[in-house]
Amino acid sequence: MNPQVASQPFIRWDWVIRHADSIAQRTIDHLVLTGIAVGVGLVLSVLAVLVVLRWRRLEGPVIGVSGVVYTIPSLALMAVLVPFTGLSLLTAEIALVSYTLLILVRNIVTGLDGVPPEAKETAAAMGYRPWRILVEVEVPLALPVILAGVRIATVTIIGLVTVTALIGQGGLGAFILDGLRRNFTTPIVVGAVGSVLLALALDAVLLAVEKLLTPWARVS
Amino acid sequence: MDFLAEVVSWLAEGHRWRGPSGIPVRMVEHVHISAFALLCAAAVAVPSGVWLGHVRRGRLLSVAVFNIGRALPSFAVVALVLPVSIRLGLGLGFWPTFVALFLLALPPMFTNSLTGVGDVPRDLVESARGMGMRELQVLRSVELPLAAPVIVASVRVAAVHVVATTTLGAFVGFGGLGRFILHGFAIRDFAEAFVGAVLVALLAMATELGLGRLEKTVLPAGLERVAGRREAGAVRRLPRPV
């Protein structure tokens, strides 16, 4: 089979054109898999941060546990889950969500810690309750750091989604696996380059969103 | 419970522990290629990063390398190296895996070496020069010790990354612990995949903890305070999971 690989071009454009539909479909799958992971990860992280803010002693354990999960290679994490949750979307998402937690929790906590105490004290003196201080003062001021976390998590997850091809998901990663199995270079290139472009595009979009949502950050 | 029994009976079979596809051999393969690729990458990335940091150039380059490193999925790198390797006549297995690991280990070590040395306060470097130190002395006695925590930490990050990525080498015909996962999936023997996965996870965590320990003993005491002060307030960069 190797001579066959050696003689083919890196990318056959006719294949790309013929598979434009499935490339579009898998790009959408890729975005959906990423969106669910970052969305669910964000909700869980916010809950975890609320717990940490209430019981500060838990910060170490929360960061520690998400740090341990972060070290486990995604393929290994999925293989451990498969006996229990099957070759399913659920397995892929549990793994993907796990990797967003450390990034998001850390950034949210760091962002909130960076809020100047004067701002909180002023709000308290004006009669704001703790909950309102959090929502109306702390979160807006921490927003640049929080959004940076969302951006990093998104770019990271786009890369990891490719590995979920192994359990029948994968978005553009499915092309990579397909190419490896058939010794056919074009789909490998399409899947690899596609996921990098997707990461760069989403990074740019989220950076623009960040700028729009935090106009004051531009001044400082 | 049934599943656990399956795992135990898989492990209980004698041939899992012997021969070229037994657990010990796969483990050694995994560690060997990881260590070799890491050392080769460090030999390239650290000196070049340190030198660029010393002459205070290449800031933009380091940011670009870091961002590209983050956006490139390891799976894609491993897969893309394969056709190149075959074309160059290096074949399947060891070489495509090694090249992918080497490439993936470069960015964190290069970026940290460059910024680590480049971030040493200018006044310190100037005073060292003012005291009559030669360039190499400035590098050896001032810049390198101060940059050491950042550089050594990046070696640990790269090591964990490499150990995790070696798992993917199974896709391009390499052995290592990834074989158990791949083979288990292929024949629907999830007990085998499970064992492989647990071994990989343990190896990754052992690498992280082991090198973390080593870091503490290698670094001169007192440096931690300097490093801690410089990082206060900023969100430290996280490594990328594989």
Question: pLDDT tens digits, residue range B4-49?
Answer: 888 888 888 878 888 788 899 999 999 999 999 999 999 999 999 9
Residue A107 CB burial class (10 angstroms; 0-12, 13-18, ≥19) = buried
> Which residue type, as a one-letter code, is found at position A89?
L
Flag if A73 and B167 touch (Cβ within 8 Å). yes
Flag if A145 and B86 touch (Cβ within 8 Å). no
Flag if B76 and A176 touch (Cβ within 8 Å). yes
Question: pLDDT tens digits, residue range B135-189?
Answer: 999 999 999 988 988 899 899 989 999 999 999 999 888 889 999 999 998 888 8
CA distance to partner chain A, nearest, from residue B170 (Å) = 11
**Disruptive mutation site among A75, A84, A113, A205 for chain B (greatest number of B CBs within 10 Å):** A75
Q: Phi/psi of residue A127, each to 5°?
A: 95, 10
Identify which of B77, B172, B241 has the shortest CB distance to residue A74. Answer: B241
In whole angstroms, what is the distance from residue B21 CA to residue B122 CA? Answer: 55
**0.80 exceeded by pTM:** yes
**Disruptive mutation site among A11, A68, A71 for chain B (greatest number of B CBs within 10 Å):** A71
- Would you say how long chain B is, in residues? 242
Instruction: Write out residues in chain A with pLDDT < 50, as ranges.
Output: 1-2
Total Cβ atoms within 10 A of residue B76: 27
Q: Phi/psi of residue A44, each to 5°?
A: -65, -40
Sign of CA dihedral B102, B105, B106, B109: negative
Burial pattern A143-160, b for ≥16 Cβ within 10 A else e, equals bbbbbbbbbbbbbbbbbb
- Of A32, A23, A47, nearest to A172 by C-alpha is A23
Question: pLDDT tens digits, residue range A173-206?
Answer: 999 999 988 888 899 999 999 999 999 999 999 9
pLDDT of residue B233: 40
Q: Does B240 touch chain A (CB under 8 A)?
A: yes
Contacts A92 to B, Cβ<8 Å: none
In whole angstroms, what is the distance from residue A193 CA to residue A210 CA? Answer: 26
SS3 content of chain B, % helix, strand, coil (to 5): 80, 0, 20
Identify which of A68, A74, A196 has the shortest CB distance to residue B205. Answer: A68
